[in-house]
């Protein structure tokens, strides 16, 4: 058994730390790049995506002008243990719409209805929801009520309706994270550990992997919708 709680303010440190550990553990699934553990760049993306999620959690106090909400699933026998989280962004001018930013469920709790339960709580407030996932995850989200709208890079765009919201979405500008001194230090450490040739090969391997994911996303969209709907117009964004 588990319980589900929705938060509109930054979570306590105990919950934040557990969420951060889940991001580190499941960055391949959570991040947009789909970086593989075998890639030497893996630690860099663990830090980068972890920093993104942490900033969104901090932004729940309103300091960055972002609308951010968080749902956590807790172990029913030990409510101090986070077994899943769902971080999503409500649209500024569409009260029914939101976008899933990050979601994860601990491996031992998958196929127990945790993701379905968290999404149900979100959809009670925002029935017009969108998300982006890799092609391999599409059947799971289709079973949860989402439908394919198109492809964007390595991911498939899905929505609870047959169209995207026309509202504006304020999202975090992540470019400064990957230009930060911390990321440069991690990259320098990895370069020293693996060597320049290995790091160049790692970047090429990452890019080839993303190309494969993009082809899979396009193929799935064609299978579901036919040609001509691969890259729908992107929703209006406001970077913060």
pLDDT digits (tens, 9 = 90+) for 156-174: 999 999 999 999 999 999 8
Question: What are the sequence ranges of the domains in the chain?
Answer: 2-226
Q: Please state at what angle helix 13-25 crosses helix 42-58, rounded to 10 degrees.
A: 150
Structure tokens at 14: 């105990």
- Residue ranges of the chain with pLDDT lower than 50? none
Q: How confident is the model at residue 228, as a pLDDT?
A: 61
Homologous superfamily, domain 2-226: Gcn5-related N-acetyltransferase (GNAT) (3.40.630.30)
Q: How confident is the model at residue 123, as a pLDDT?
A: 98
Alpha-carbon distance of 43 to 49, in angstroms, equals 10
Q: Which burial class, exposed, middle or buried, applies to 208 when counting CB atoms under 10 A from its CB (0-12, 13-18, 19+)?
A: exposed
Question: In this structure, are residues 131 and 100 in contact, taking their beta carbons and an 8 Å threshold?
Answer: yes
Question: In this structure, are residues 100 and 115 in contact, taking their beta carbons and an 8 Å threshold?
Answer: no
Q: How confident is the model at residue 24, as a pLDDT?
A: 96
Q: How confident is the model at residue 165, as a pLDDT?
A: 95
Of 149, 169, 179, the C-alpha closest to 161 is 149
Q: How confident is the model at residue 233, as a pLDDT?
A: 54
Alpha-carbon distance of 148 to 72, in angstroms, equals 26
Q: How confident is the model at residue 20, as a pLDDT?
A: 96
Q: How confident is the model at residue 226, as a pLDDT?
A: 86
């Amino acid at each position: 058994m588990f319980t589900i709680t929705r938060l509109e303010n930054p979570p306590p440190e105990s919950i934040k730390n557990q969420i951060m550990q889940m991001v580190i553990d499941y960055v391949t699934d959570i991040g947009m790049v789909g970086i593989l553990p075998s890639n030497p760049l893996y630690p860099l993306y663990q830090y980068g995506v972890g920093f993104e999620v942490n900033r969104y959690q901090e932004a729940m106090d309103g300091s960055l002008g972002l609308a951010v909400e968080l749902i956590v699933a807790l172990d029913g026998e030990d409510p101090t243990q986070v077994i899943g989280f769902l971080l999503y962004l409500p649209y500024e001018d569409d009260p029914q719409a939101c976008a899933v930013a990050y979601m994860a469920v601990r491996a031992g709790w998958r196929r127990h209805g945790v993701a379905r339960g968290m999404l149900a709580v979100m959809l009670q407030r925002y029935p017009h929801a969108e998300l982006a996932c890799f092609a391999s995850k599409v059947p799971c989200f289709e079973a949860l009520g989402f439908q394919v709208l198109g492809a964007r890079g390595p991911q498939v765009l899905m929505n609870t309706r047959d169209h995207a919201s026309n509202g504006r979405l304020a999202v975090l500008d992540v470019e400064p994270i990957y230009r930060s001194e911390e990321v440069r230090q991690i990259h320098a450490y990895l370069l020293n550990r693996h060597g320049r040739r290995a790091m160049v090969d790692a970047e090429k391997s990452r890019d080839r992997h993303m190309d494969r994911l993009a082809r899979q996303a396009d193929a799935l969209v064609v299978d579901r919708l036919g040609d001509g709907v691969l890259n729908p117009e992107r929703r209006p964004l406001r970077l913060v």
